[in-house]
A and B are shown apart, each in its own frame.
Chain A
Amino acid sequence: MNKDYLNLIFSGFLFSLFTFTLIEALTFSKLAQFFPLYISVAGVILTFVYFIAQVFTIYKQQKKEENQTILPLLQPLKYIGWVIGYLLLIFIGGLLLATVIFLFTFLIFESKMKLLSAGISVVFVLICVSLLSSALDIYWPTNLIGF
């Protein structure tokens, strides 16, 4: 997707976010209100200025027929999907089970590792996580049934 259009969409999103926080800040009591209100007002003004400037940039570029930077979106979305999938797996099966499934499938399909290497890597990670957990008193996310 065109980088300038994405920038425009992002500044539009930030403008909406600051507008939301501004409206929300008006519902706070006076002492809780001043800080987020001032910040939100500043945010709304600046993002609006940036949004307009971005519209002009795009308009000028189209007039001059300049080369536009295109950002690939599908590939990043695929990897973001892997991250979210891993978290969903933790939510369903707990960290240990999710880590086994995620690591094994990722190493096989994305890293193109051999089955044996992937298996050894998974076992190694599980040992490390367990050792860290007991030695450094580290906790890990639990699943639906609290395991």
Chain B
Amino acid sequence: MIESAIEALMIVLDPSRLIYMFLGIGIGVIVGLLPGLSGTVGMSLLLPFVFGLEPYVGMALLIGMIAVIHTGDTFPSILFGIPGTSGSQATIMDGYPLTKKGGASRAMGASFFSSMIGGVIGGIALYLTIPFARPLITSFSSPELFMLTMLGLSMAGLLAGKSPIKGIISGILGLLIGAVGSAPAVPEYRYTLDTLYLTQGISLPVVAMAIFAFPILITMLTDKGSVSSHAKLQSGILKGVMDALKNKFLVFRSAVIGALIGFIPGLGGSVVDWIAYGAGQKTVKNNYFGSGDIRGVIAPESANNAKEGGSLVPTLLFGIPGSGTTAILLGGLTLMGLEAGPKMLSDDLPVTLSIVWTLVFANIFGALLCMLLVRPISKISLVPGEKIVPFLLVLLVVGAYQSTMSWGDLIVFVVIGLLGYVMTILDWPRPPLLIGFVLALPAERYYWISIERYGWEWLTNPLVIALAIIIVLLLAGGTIMKRFSKKFESKGGI
């Protein structure tokens, strides 16, 4: 396999193919930069062009784009607190407070470096799992998938902040918004208010933008100032890189979490950053996550790039797409005359390995490109709110409309945006709402399948028990650690 990997490396480094990879990287960064545009939009844009292309060239273009979307989406998340894509929601939690303190460059330096390392680890994970991917994927059935959604939901509790009851209510509200539309178990519509738009459910990009971006727009206008409260931006790209290097184990841990969650089709990549963020919050000592802790940027950014490598395992090897983006990628494979499945490990192994290399290179070049853009782009955070908000609003309206190209998207944007604004001024945590929303459908679907198929027997499944223990440890461990540290502090520490 090593020989095949070297052969694939030579193929990827061919200048004619490298150009396509750079083209993909450029488009990926732009798509990530623009709020509301996801990997699905980027893939749909490139798909017509891959028809008839040599597989190595086509994959360089598509994978180059996919790999860096979660690098480029960091700009709006850190600068404005607006998620560039659904995978960069958790980055806002500490990235935006850092920008307010004048540390945008530092946050972005740490973020891009972590993204690069995470992406490379994701590529390596893809390479390493190729020989034993089949038993790994097939070991996850609906009960385990349900427990994984519970693991994701437990993050809502962890992110509740000072008032757990507000966090739980917020999460429940998210679950309820996620229940709008067709029921997964029966052909029946719920809470559609007799409108056609709501029969499809509410789309994630609209909810994410509304709940985070709308309140920020209004707050920027009422506060009458720039995002950064400091008149001068601190130069800190290198400092951010050093921060990431100092927290190398956090980068690694988060990347492993990202790759592992990526393996599991259907769980939804949108939750990976929250899980990494929550895990980081529980494992990092003396943290102040939520108020501008650089480690709160490092954890989700490393995970969301690593996820891409993991998510390609079920897509390429079993033809099971884990997201809209990978579903379109499957279409791309067909257009290039390839077929997802075991053939990708035999006849088409060089193509699979070229994908691994492209992932690695695209993450490195994408991060470097973004680092070059940090200085000019972070100056935007110094522009007064009332001068930048109208332009952001135009961008957000166009972005929100791309979800289903329906007026319903805009109405939902305003309604949920108002809800988000009220929650912001009344100190209700918003991340649990989003986590609840993302996991509503998988939670219901996997619970229903588990009960229908296994009755209550699935509760005795060893993997289910192991996941339940992890959830309890995560929830209880945090509380115990907090109590210990409080006792320790009250005694004066060491």
| B377: interface (CB < 8 Å) | no
* A38 smallest CB distance to B (angstroms): 9
Complex: how many Å from CA A28 to CA B192? Answer: 12
B contact residues around A50 at 8 Å (CB): 165-166, 169
A contact residues around B387 at 8 Å (CB): 107, 111, 113
| B128: interface (CB < 8 Å) | no
Contact of B183 with A31 in the complex, beta carbons under 8 Å: yes
B contact residues around A103 at 8 Å (CB): 390-391, 394
| A115: interface (CB < 8 Å) | no
- The A interface is mostly helix, strand or loop, or mixed, namely helix
- A46-B168 contact, Cβ under 8 Å, with A79-B221, A129-B394: yes
Complex: how many Å from CA A24 to CA B189? Answer: 12
From B37, B41, B386, A110 is in contact (CB under 8 Å) with: B386
> CB-CB contacts of B287-331 with A at 8 A, as 1s and 0s?
000000000000000000000000000000000000000000000
Nearest CB in chain A to that of B185: its residue: A31
From B179, B221, B398, B426, A39 is in contact (CB under 8 Å) with: B179
Residues in A1-34 with C-beta less than 8 Å from chain B: 3, 6-7, 10, 14, 17-18, 21, 24-25, 28-29, 31-32, 34
A contact residues around B222 at 8 Å (CB): 72, 75-76, 79
Contact of B188 with A29 in the complex, beta carbons under 8 Å: yes
Complex: how many Å from CA A111 to CA B391? Answer: 12
- A84-B414 contact, Cβ under 8 Å, with A31-B183, A79-B218, A140-B398: yes
* B118 smallest CB distance to A (angstroms): 26
| B249: interface (CB < 8 Å) | no
| A145: interface (CB < 8 Å) | no
From A43, A72, A140, B401 is in contact (CB under 8 Å) with: A140
Contact of A40 with B426 in the complex, beta carbons under 8 Å: no
From A40, A75, A107, A139, B390 is in contact (CB under 8 Å) with: A107
Contact of A136 with B37 in the complex, beta carbons under 8 Å: yes
Nearest CB in chain B to that of A4: its residue: B426
Residues in B317-358 with C-beta less than 8 Å from chain A: none
- A24-B166 contact, Cβ under 8 Å, with A80-B418, A140-B398: no
Contact of A32 with B425 in the complex, beta carbons under 8 Å: no
Nearest CB in chain A to that of B189: its residue: A32
Contact of B398 with A95 in the complex, beta carbons under 8 Å: yes
Bin chain A's interface residue count: 35 or more
- How many B residues touch A, CB cutoff 8 Å? 54
| B190: interface (CB < 8 Å) | yes
Contact of B44 with A43 in the complex, beta carbons under 8 Å: no
B contact residues around A106 at 8 Å (CB): 390
B contact residues around A35 at 8 Å (CB): 179, 183, 440, 443-444, 447-448
Contact of A80 with B173 in the complex, beta carbons under 8 Å: no
B contact residues around A76 at 8 Å (CB): 218, 222, 421, 425
Contact of B394 with A99 in the complex, beta carbons under 8 Å: yes
A contact residues around B494 at 8 Å (CB): none
| B422: interface (CB < 8 Å) | yes
Contact of A14 with B169 in the complex, beta carbons under 8 Å: yes
* A122 smallest CB distance to B (angstroms): 10
A contact residues around B50 at 8 Å (CB): none
Contact of B176 with A21 in the complex, beta carbons under 8 Å: yes
Contact of B169 with A36 in the complex, beta carbons under 8 Å: no
| A71: interface (CB < 8 Å) | yes
| B454: interface (CB < 8 Å) | no
Residues in B13-32 with C-beta less than 8 Å from chain A: 30-31
From A31, A49, A113, B448 is in contact (CB under 8 Å) with: A31
Q: Could you name 26 residue pairs across A and B whose Cβ atoms are closer than 8 Å?
A: A3-B426, A7-B426, A10-B422, A21-B176, A28-B188, A32-B183, A35-B443, A35-B444, A36-B179, A39-B176, A46-B169, A50-B165, A76-B421, A79-B218, A79-B222, A86-B397, A87-B397, A91-B407, A95-B398, A103-B391, A103-B394, A110-B390, A111-B384, A111-B386, A111-B390, A141-B410
Shortest 9 CB-CB distances between A and B: which pairs?
Answer: A32-B183, A31-B185, A35-B444, A32-B188, A31-B186, A106-B390, A79-B221, A43-B172, A111-B386
New A-B contacts (15) at CB < 8 Å, excluding given A50-B165, A83-B217: A6-B425, A25-B190, A35-B443, A35-B447, A36-B179, A39-B176, A43-B176, A75-B221, A76-B222, A76-B425, A83-B218, A103-B390, A107-B387, A125-B394, A129-B394
